[in-house]
Amino acid sequence: MNPDIFRAYDIRGIADTELTDPVVEKIGQAFATMAIRRGEEIPRIGVGRDARDSSERIYMALEKGLRRAGAHVVDLTTVPTPLTYFATFRQEYDGSIQITGSHNPGEFNGFKMMLGKETLHGDTIQQLRQLIEDDDLISSDEDHGSSAYAELRKEYIEWVRDNITMGERKLHIAVDSGNGVAGIVAPELLRDALNVKVHELYSQPDGSFPNHHPDPTVEENLQDLIAAVREHNCDFGVAYDGDGDRIGVVDENGEVIWGDQLLIVFARQVLENHPGATIIGEVKCSQTLFDDIENKGGNPIMARVGHSLIKAKLRETNAELAGEMSGHIFFNDRFFGFDDALYSTCRLAEIVSRTHQPFSALLADVPTTYATPEIRRPCDEKLKFKIPGYVADLFADDYEVNTIDGVRVKFNDGWGLVRASNTQAVVSLRAEGHTPEARDRYIEQLQNAVDTAEEQLG
């Protein structure tokens, strides 16, 4: 078993060589062991899966391991990750697992896991690995079998219909599911629950992702959506990653609305209904997000990067809303607090349907800033977590620094970020300025600081 498949936020590896049947069975047995040792005598575990070619085979092996330890397995069938989360909250499962490779290429697969209503991440994922390596697993003499929950998609659509209130405006939305599993739910959801006209792109699931890579944070992957919005005069367009928990958005002009801009749109609606609410963004987000939340009377919190970490922070602070640049959006307001790109689409449709202005007008008053893309520098694994601290010391005398996740330096006319990747031998840099010149100056300062850190620490 390759220990590297146990990552910071989930388990992920190459399906045919790393997620073999024996490995997957052990993962299922270890997960059920954890659930039983939490006090669940016969845990009910819901299991969903994406549409990759390997997912059905992996489901069979995982079910076998779960049942070997004494769990009852509820087969949630092929559904987006948010529907597995939805079932966990609505059906009160003792745990749940989504089989998915998320936005990785088709040869990958993996697991996103919840024990109770808490996502496994960090140390708990490593505890799962340790149970397997130590062979510290429960083997039950009784097989408690499995059952199917075939009505999940129908129940989800009906729940959204009852909990979203559309305005008078009839919307036309382009939806690019990227041949991921969101395509089996999103178009139907928008048509049936919200009475929206939908222009579909790539709704048919295909684990080889023949049209484009299913990652909506990469602008190259949004080109077909942008073209469709412009050609068909849509009010806006949305794109999903492979398992439907991350969203990408373009406005009526085909301009990309990044995660922090989208969070501004959602935060303004939430703050209208919950004055003073706490709203969470992560360290990569624009300063305009935190300023806008504060200006609208909210309590902005800057958090560490990572969907599992954001969910934990949401519970800790009882925030109404949270989000990441990567397109994970978490609504506690009127929802369950987990990341759901389909529900986020519906909340966005609700907002746009209540105005006669174009989508772009919703952000017209946000100050213009100029940001670099995320710059990923290869870095020695032994150095990468030391570099941000060294960089923080270089800037601390002259600027405000935040070290919650790497180091974020607040310059006079913008900010810059240096942080170590949790999953790769990489240090990431990003800078934002009120002018292109400020942005370029700040990223150059950060690059020079990292050069110095590598020289001194190496």
- Residue 37 burial by CB count (10 A; 0-12/13-18/19+): exposed, middle or buried? exposed
Q: Which of 54, 55, 96, 102 is catalytic?
A: 102
Query: Cα–Cα distance between 194 and 189 in angstroms, integer?
Result: 7
Burial pattern 338-354, b for ≥16 Cβ within 10 A else e, equals: bbbbbbbbbbbbbbbbe
Beta-strand relationship, 370-371 and 329-331: unpaired
Annotate 110-134 with DSSP letters as a single string: EEEEEETTEE--THHHHHHHHHHHT
- Residue 98 burial by CB count (10 A; 0-12/13-18/19+): exposed, middle or buried? buried
Catalytic-residue membership of 102: yes
Determine how many CB atoms are found less than 10 A away from the CB of residue 321: 27
Residues 6+ apart with CB under 8 A from 309: 9, 121, 122, 303
Catalytic-residue membership of 328: yes
> What's the Cα-to-Cα distance from 50 to each of 6, 28, 32, 230, rounded to whole Å?
19, 17, 21, 30
Catalytic-residue membership of 147: no
Q: Which of 121, 246, 328, 439 is catalytic?
A: 328
Please say whether the beta carbons of 422 and 395 come within 8 A.
no
Q: Which residues are catalytic?
A: 12, 102, 328
